[in-house]
Amino acid sequence: MSTESIALTAAGEPAQPLSEVLYSWVTTVDHKRLGILYILYALLFLLIGGLEATVMRIQLIVPHNHFVSPQLFNQLFTMHGTTMIFFVAMPVLFGFGNYLIPLMIGARDMAFPRLNAFSFWLTAFGGLLLYFSFVGGYGLYGAGTAPDVGWFAYAPLTARTFSIGHSTDFWTMSLLVSGVGSIGAAVNFIATIVSMRCPGMTLGKMPLFAWMNLVMGGLVLFTISPLTAAQVMLCLDRFLGAHFFDTQAGGSAFLWMHFFWIFGHPEVYILVLPCFGFASEIIPVFSRKPIFGYPIMVAATVAIGFVSMSVWAHHMFTVGMSAYGNIFFVVTTMAISVPTGIKIFNWLGTMWGGRLQFKTPMLFCVAFIFQFLIAGLTGIMLSAAPFNWQLSGSYFVVAHFHYVIVGAILFTIFGAFYYWFPKMTGRMYNEKLGKLQFWLFVIGFHLTFDFMHVPGILGMPRRIYTYEPGRGWDIWNLIVTVGVFFQAISTLVFVWNLVNSLFKGQPAGNDPWDAWTLEWSTFSPPPEYNFARTPVVRSRRPLWDLKHPEDPDWEFE
């Protein structure tokens, strides 16, 4: 174990002109800079997607509201969903993975730095393409024609008959382009994790974050590929007169559903696995204990990876599959709750008997466990196909998947921001503002998404731009909308905290959390070469061994 990293200090170099700085960022192949680019890009789209959600919620605050037109509302929910999944959640997780994985496994960079840059710029281009539809949806005349087919774009709404103009073309091309970027990133993650670990770091001694990203990379390869193939087919339909999904020419609406959901469900795990990784790094450090049951955590992750590819048609319980088809997907969907449950228990086991320190990252992770528990339980309700026939396509489902995507994924992402901000910038964030943001977001989240389950149970379908009064939905929609404003304010506090701390934060030091993984052994921010000497590790917590030579981990593992 030798992780003393001697930096060749960059201080004293003359300041570069702005054009040089920008040029160096645009042309960079450094995994840390690309990671930060991914993260900033995702933050920008988070604000845009959040704004879209806010406008939709204002429209739904009372029945028969006229805040936006039905056409605009349909565009907003399409753009909100597409943006949040493809241009917020995936890029931000790729960003953290890019930044952290080489540091955590003691590598100099990702395996393919130029592929890494290429993947980022493809993703970035995809997002710009999507938003260009706002001006180019009808070929530059008639602005404001973003796609309005929903984020899963069921056929035949995407056929030329039902979607005239170019808005759907922008949608499909943008996912085609960013999909290729995602595949590139996944190849890079897998190659890096498999072949670039530092001496001594066997697969069994790798940080859990790297394990989760390894499985995530595999899932991306197997599931973004069908999505990308489906986009190619849709392009053929729209540009060359093919009929894969064109029902009026005998195409199959059903085929698109299968293509989309065989991507769509594993996608949830693509997003949530890295977040499990964040939680599995943050919870031990703030509990002052190693992760409980490392081997079973790894096994559960791998099991989720495999089983998640056999559950997709639980999104299709209402499309009229046979009873046996439904029963198969009930089994697989219920089965995946077992490895997921194991993870929750293991995080609890990690906290049990520890010395919990409720810094902001830990607060977000504890809230994550609580909310992920509820999201899992509503998931079990949805997995019971007959119950699903009632709940599917209703606001209950919207509440359920926002519980996963916001309550679990976004919460851990916030936690990760606070936890690694000192490493990335060398400065400490403002703890008071961090806690304020946490509580504002918790209040807003629960106002919005707890109460959103109710209108679903009372029969309110999703994707309606307005609703009838007198169906018992009004008050719940009002509460849901009120919660959105708490979340919006909280997000602004978060952005302010990041920006302000970047310039005015206290110097953080190399290891502010007294943590145990390799990234904390180098400087904050890490120099371009990461480690002056390649580290050598003997256990899962190399820095614990260094700090406690009398009681090293490798004696027990």
Partner 1 sequence: MSPLGAESRSHSSAFLPAQCRCGCAPMTHLGPKRVSNFPVRNRCVPRGYLLGGSLFSARSCSCFAFAQASQVPDIFKPASTPADAIHRLSVFVLIITGLIFLVVFSLLAYAVGKFRNNAKEDGREPPQVYGSNQVELAWTVVPVLIVLVLFFATARVIHSIQQAVPPPGTIQVTAIGHQFWWEFRYPGLGVVTANELHVPVSDPRQRTPTFVTLLSADTDHSFWVPQLAGKTDLIPNRVNSMWIEPHETGMYVGQCAQYCGTQHAKMLLRVYVESPEQFNQWIAAEKQPAHSADAVAAGRQIFEKTACINCHAISGSVADGRFGPDLTHLMSRETIAAGAASNTHENLKQWIRNPDSIKPGSLMPAMNLNEQDLEAVTAYLETLR
Residue 113 pairs in a beta bridge with: none
Distance CA 383, CA 374 (A): 14
User: To the nearest whole angstrom, how small is the minimum distance from the Cβ of residue 518 to partner 1?
Assistant: 19
Is 549 a binding residue for partner 1 by CB under 8 A? The answer is: no
Residues 6 or more apart whose CB falls under 8 angstroms from that of 50 comprise 487, 488, 491
Residue closer to partner 1, measured from CB, 208 or 220: 208
> Interaction with partner 1 in 222-241: which residues (CB under 8 A)?
none
Q: Which one of 14, 17, 470, 549 is in contact with partner 1 (CB under 8 A)? A: 470
Is 296 a binding residue for partner 1 by CB under 8 A? The answer is: yes
> Interaction with partner 1 in 302-321: which residues (CB under 8 A)?
318-320
Judge whether 182 and 142 are in contact, CB under 8 Å.
no
Q: How many residues bind partner 1 (CB under 8 A)?
A: 103
Is 389 a binding residue for partner 1 by CB under 8 A? The answer is: yes
Judge whether 535 and 521 are in contact, CB under 8 Å.
yes
> Interaction with partner 1 in 180-209: which residues (CB under 8 A)?
none
Tell me which residue has tokens 């039902």. 162
> Interaction with partner 1 in 11-30: which residues (CB under 8 A)?
none
CA atoms within 13 A on the CB side of 163: 30
Residue closer to partner 1, measured from CB, 105 or 374: 374
Q: Which one of 121, 125, 387, 485 is in contact with partner 1 (CB under 8 A)? A: 387
Tell me which residue has tokens 């703890």. 431
Please identify, among the stretches 46-54, 124-132, 173-181, 379-387, the one whose residues bind partner 1 according to the rule CB under 8 A: 379-387
User: To the nearest whole angstrom, how small is the minimum distance from the Cβ of residue 551 to partner 1?
Assistant: 8
Residue 394 pairs in a beta bridge with: 461
In the chain the first and final C-alpha atoms are separated, in Å, by 16
Pair of tokens at residue 429:
């964030």
Please identify, among the stretches 37-45, 152-160, 174-182, 187-195, the one whose residues bind partner 1 according to the rule CB under 8 A: 152-160
Q: Which one of 54, 65, 310, 390 is in contact with partner 1 (CB under 8 A)? A: 390
Is 370 a binding residue for partner 1 by CB under 8 A? The answer is: yes
Handedness of CA 511, 516, 522, 527 (dihedral sign): negative
Residue closer to partner 1, measured from CB, 184 or 379: 379
Considering only CA atoms, which of 28, 23, 551, 10 is closest in space to residue 290?
551
Residue 461 pairs in a beta bridge with: 394
Q: Which one of 71, 199, 529, 534 is in contact with partner 1 (CB under 8 A)? A: 71
Distance CA 68, CA 183 (A): 37
Residue closer to partner 1, measured from CB, 176 or 330: 330
Pair of tokens at residue 170:
């922008």
Is 435 a binding residue for partner 1 by CB under 8 A? The answer is: no
Is 394 a binding residue for partner 1 by CB under 8 A? The answer is: yes
Q: Which one of 55, 196, 335, 482 is in contact with partner 1 (CB under 8 A)? A: 335
Please identify, among the stretches 130-138, 202-210, 236-244, 250-258, the one whose residues bind partner 1 according to the rule CB under 8 A: 250-258
Is 338 a binding residue for partner 1 by CB under 8 A? The answer is: yes
Residue closer to partner 1, measured from CB, 335 or 502: 335
DSSP states along 441-504 = HHHHHHHHHHHTHHHHHTTPBSS-S---TTSS-HHHHHHHHHHHHHHHHHHHHHHHHHHHHHHH
Q: Which one of 344, 443, 489, 532 is in contact with partner 1 (CB under 8 A)? A: 344
Judge whether 67 and 146 are in contact, CB under 8 Å.
no
Distance CA 361, CA 412 (A): 8
Is 381 a binding residue for partner 1 by CB under 8 A? The answer is: yes
